[in-house]
Amino acid sequence: MALASNGNIYVPFSERKGQESAVYFTRDLSSEGLRKIFARIAQALTGKVAIKLHTGEPNGPNIIPRPWVKDLISEKLPSAHIVETNAYYEGGRYTTAKHRDTIKLNGWTFAPVDIMDEHGTTMLPVKGGHYFTEMSVGKGMLDFDSLLVLTHFKGHLMGGFGGSNKNIGIGCADGRIGKAMIHTTPGQPNQWDINSEELMERMAESSKATVDHFAPHIAFINVMRNMSVSCDCEGVAAEPVVTPNVGILASLDIAAIDWASVDLVFAMPDKYNHALVERITTRHGLRQLTYMNELGMGSSRYKLIDIDNGGAEITQAEAVKHVKPFEG
């Protein structure tokens, strides 16, 4: 069957067809867990490696713990650079100067951090896009041979959820041109006027530009911890976390890892997942997933491989069977 184009309709795993990609899973939310799961996808990364992650607004409470990333870099990727772009909204990351102050405040001081649009922008082709033939990204992206997309999976005010697709679709687009292409219809005053399905589709087309640029030297990790319905861009104003922690996923397939992360949320009991499910569906965020499939970015089906138990293939229900109420 064709996947639903309505971003508020969840398509169960059993109703999807196609080839299965590998998505690795661990319940070990720790520095060691991150390093273990990284080893499953490390082979894709060669040459000069960039790590795209959300460094957060000032004092953001839910971002990936800095010690985890510090240990990963020091032990596995000693020459890697963290990369970011400036924000589209006024705040702690709006200008390069403010952004660098926030990066320091939030503790990202153990590795080089490149703000990719600090010295300009470049256009990358968007193959097969409906909205774009090219996307404006930070020019600094061209300095790297490989990209590790290290994502804190969470909700999002407009996107419904923020996974790997949002991390690079919004996060690699530069702060003035690229992000405006995604969020704003030219010639009108509301910079956030594009929403629902169209926003998800534009985001995915932007993401595709980055994926195609690095392929096959790109890999994805989603950390399902401290999952507020708010994005890390909301900083200390983020809604309280009520969704249980789940674990860490890794894949070489951007569509499959975001599908799997959403599937694990939907597989939880209603008493645990209702807030995040509501945020995803009311923002029509599921269109991120189906449109990635339409763009040929990856699969909606996957084998969920439990690295805690000898690489056994498990179901989504088995992966979240032992989740506990969130404790801050």
State the alpha helices, DSSP H only, in the chain.
Answer: 31-38, 66-76, 96-105, 164-169, 178-183, 196-214, 254-267, 270-282, 287-294, 316-319
Per residue in 91-117, pLDDT (tens digit) is 999 999 999 999 999 999 999 999 999
Cβ neighbors of 103 (< 8 A, separation 6 or more) are: 55, 84, 109, 113
How much is the average pLDDT of 290-296? Answer: 97
Mean residue pLDDT of the chain comes to 96
Instruction: List, for residues 149-165, the tens digit of each pLDDT value.
Output: 999 999 999 999 999 99
Assess whether pLDDT exceeds 70 at residue 33. yes
Q: pLDDT band for position 236 (50/70/90)?
A: confident
Q: Give residue-wise pLDDT tens across range 64-86.
A: 999 999 999 999 999 999 999 99
**Predicted confidence (pLDDT) at residue 138 exceeds the cutoff of 70:** yes
**Sequential DSSP letters for 30-71:** SHHHHHHHHTTTGGG--SSEEEE----STT-SSSPPHHHHHH
CA angle centred on 277, ends 273 and 280, rounded to 5°: 150
CA 308 – CA 289 distance, rounded (Å): 27
Q: Please give the average per-residue pLDDT across 217-225, as a whole number.
A: 98
Per-residue pLDDT, 238: 82
H or E element in which residue 163 lies? none
Domains of the chain plus CATH, in order, are 13-319 (3.40.50.11440)
**Helix H or strand E segment including 218:** strand 218-224
CA distance 111 to 302: 34
Residue 233: its pLDDT value, please? Answer: 82
pLDDT digits (tens, 9 = 90+) for 45-66: 999 999 999 999 999 889 999 9
CA distance 138 to 79: 20
Q: What is the pLDDT of residue 2?
A: 63
- Quick one: tokens of 104? 């320091």
Average pLDDT over residues 9-25: 96
- The mean per-residue pLDDT over the stretch 6-19 comes to 94
